[in-house]
Structure 1
Amino acid sequence: MVEMTAMSNYTGLIPDVIGGHGPKTAPGTEGVKELNDIFKLKEDGGILNKHGVVEYVNGIAPGVFVTVSTPNEEIAYQMGYHSMGPGPLWTLYRPFHLCNLETPLTVAKAVIDGEVTCVPIDGLVSECITRAKIDLKAGQTIDGIGGYTTHGSIATAEESNAKGYVPFGLVTNKAVMKRDVKKGQLLTYDDIELDKSTLIYKLRKEQDAMYGRNVL
């Protein structure tokens, strides 16, 4: 979800629904063949309410993909000619996602070369928010990214701000539940006492002020 949120903020594409649909497919390239139909609009037999969204798939990992369309008749003809399918959607697929290698290279490019990999196009578009992995109890100390009690989800920044969803990056192993929360529930600021001494909390507070959001 962190990657989807980064892509959303970079491109302006938003989640179709909170958390995404996450359809299941056959493994690998066989699953990729299903995406042209899966990602049609609902009225056309697919799962999406709208196009122009970020989404993930259970089945084609570790690859990454983009499903595209075009109003250009020549491009549409060429996509069919090159065995990409009849359209109106086509999926471009890269069968690997080497995040553990790509991340340090991204950091090195930024620090050494002053080169950015991606920049938000216009402030916050989406947020990576926090969902309970298990039933959580008031007074319980929880963990964060990679832990056993919570995991990330995605929502538009507008909805996250309106409903007070907690950004996943702010949840650390010193965060304490204020009240009981059921498995699968999205955590709000009313549910949790965050560790306000962390650098990321302070940076987030600065970011909220920069964008005119006074959540923290």
Structure 2
Amino acid sequence: MNDLLSLLARRVAEGRPLRVGLIGAGKFGTMFLAQARRVAGLHVLGVADLSPERARMALARAGWPEAQYAAASLSDARDHGTTYVGDDAAALIAADGLDVVVEATGVPAAGVSHCLLAIEHGRHIVMVNVEADALLGPLLARRAAEAGVIYSLAYGDQPALIAECVEWARACGFEVVCAGKGTRYLPHYHQSTPDTVWQYYGLSAEQAAAGGMNPQMFNSFLDGTKSAIEMAAVANACHLRPQPHGLGFPPCGVDDLPHVLRPRTAGGQLTHTGTVEVVSSLERDGRPVFRDLRWGVYVVFAAPNDYVRRCFAEYGLVTDASGVYSALYRPYHLIGLELPISVLRVGLRQEPTGYPQAFLGDVVAVTKRDLAEGEVLDGEGGYTVYGKLMPAVDSVAAGALPIGLAHGLRTLRPIAAGTIVRWEDVAYETNHPVVRLRRFMERTMTPEATL
């Protein structure tokens, strides 16, 4: 970290601040803005949002003096060290002097479009938009590398923090058994809709509205979609193979990670080692799990021999009964407040904080209820479908529709509740740029296609 700050100080001394453009001024973007202005030498050149007024409100909420974001143009912002606010993301990406693009819209198609444009203009990309990463990340990262720019997951968000834990374990010579995060989960949450979501959070619709909380976004966290998306990102970034059934969400506290998250052959619940899993902070009867990991991340690793197993015991590591499996965990993640780490590493050292290296995990659309012919899918966190993690080889073989494209498409036939939606079940535009890229990735980057 000291190296990052010294590199940044050197650029400041040379009159070359690290310039970043933020696309999307939602919660994640606002949290980033709150810290970015405190990092000397990190210049937020511009903020692009479909609603510039919303972006200005975000800046004010994050503690920015109004004069600091009153630049009349992007060139004015560059010359005077201020920040321009507008609705033209393409203009921000193309702005002279920009180093890093932070894509934080949360809209998969928009994220793909902005990423491709950033690659075209030679800008590094920090992809906060994990929805876009789960949809097309492996292909986008490959194209970025071919163009000589960095594509990175966003530090502060759980996938990048999990990737850091995995890297630590492997760099120490440990076998990674499982990696993932915690969440609040019960099986019936998969059927939750924006109309029912607040009861699970203990809020009224009026309280949520007063807090500016988006029911569809919060429902994505609850119904399992966001967990599936994030674990697909981890699987693809860390060469971890999802289990055949996807995620099991076993109830598990931090002290039980090495016991629960070991292979079935060793008495645990995993189908195989080298996988991802999300642990629930609730027992199946709704009771809270003791010492839960709801907000945190973890990696389970194995001792390679008896000597290392004895070292685990000597230094007080919590293990399973055999002493072979142990875990490292981080109890919290700070979302956008930690994002400057990605921006600095990418912009100063051309080093990603995790990036998709293979197409191993995929997230497909599964119906929440019986759907009739002619119904319109409403995507992540909505009324019609939720996202399920699958091994990419299985999802592609099944012709499954990715959750990132399951919005605005009309069904061609009735689909029973709990069924994976397939491409052939919906009407879609075959020549849509994002559809074409996704179908290309399916043909060329699934494990069989790359052998």
What interval of TM-score do these two structures reach, taking the shorter chain for normalisation? 0.7 to 0.9
| 1:187 aligns to 2:421 (yes or no) | yes
- Structure number with greater Rg is 2
Task: State the Cα deviation string for residues 122-158 of structure 1 (Å, max 9, x = none).
Answer: x311211112222222111111123222121111111
Equivalent residues in 2 for 1:133-148, closer than 5 Å: 133-148=368-383
Gaps of 5+ in 1: 26-30
Structure 2 CA distance, aligned partners of 1:151 and 1:107?
A: 31
Structure 1 CA distance, aligned partners of 2:337 and 2:387?
A: 22
Q: RMSD between aligned alpha carbons?
A: 2.8
Is contact 2:248–2:277 with CA below 8 Å preserved after alignment? Answer: yes
**Aligned counterpart, 1:200:** 434
SS of the counterpart of 2:423?
coil
Is contact 2:371–2:416 with CA below 8 Å preserved after alignment? Answer: yes
**Aligned counterpart, 1:7:** 234
**Following TM superposition, by how much is the alpha carbon of 1:72 offset from its aligned partner in structure 2, in angstroms?**
3.5
**Aligned counterpart, 1:177:** 411
**Aligned counterpart, 1:32:** 254
**Aligned counterpart, 1:156:** 391
Equivalent residues in 2 for 1:51-62, closer than 5 Å: 51-59=273-281, 60-62=293-295
Once structures 1 and 2 are overlaid, which stretch shifts more, 204-213 or 59-68? 204-213
Gaps of 5+ in 2: 1-227, 282-292
Structure 2 CA distance, aligned partners of 1:135 and 1:106?
A: 42
Structure 2 CA distance, aligned partners of 1:83 and 1:110?
A: 36
| Percent of residue pairs bearing the same amino acid type | 29
Once structures 1 and 2 are overlaid, which stretch shifts more, 33-42 or 162-171? 33-42
Change (3 A) 1:176 1:110: farther
Change (3 A) 1:45 1:64: same
**Following TM superposition, by how much is the alpha carbon of 1:56 offset from its aligned partner in structure 2, in angstroms?**
0.8
Is contact 2:380–2:404 with CA below 8 Å preserved after alignment? Answer: yes
Structure 1 CA distance, aligned partners of 2:431 and 2:250?
A: 39
**Aligned counterpart, 1:81:** 314
Q: How many residues align?
A: 207
Structure 1 CA distance, aligned partners of 2:271 and 2:339?
A: 32
TM-score, length-normalised on structure 2? 0.41
Task: State the Cα deviation string for residues 66-86 of structure 1 (Å, max 9, x = none).
Answer: 111021433322222222224
2:428 maps to a residue whose letter is L
2:260 maps to a residue whose letter is I
Give every structure 1 segment of 4 or more consecutive aligned residues whose post-TM-superposition deviation is greater than 4 Å.
100-115, 195-199
Q: Which has the higher contact order (CA 8 A, sep 6+)?
A: 1
2:423 maps to a residue whose letter is Y
Structure 2 CA distance, aligned partners of 1:139 and 1:108?
A: 48
Give the structure with the higher percent helix: 2
Change (3 A) 1:104 1:150: farther
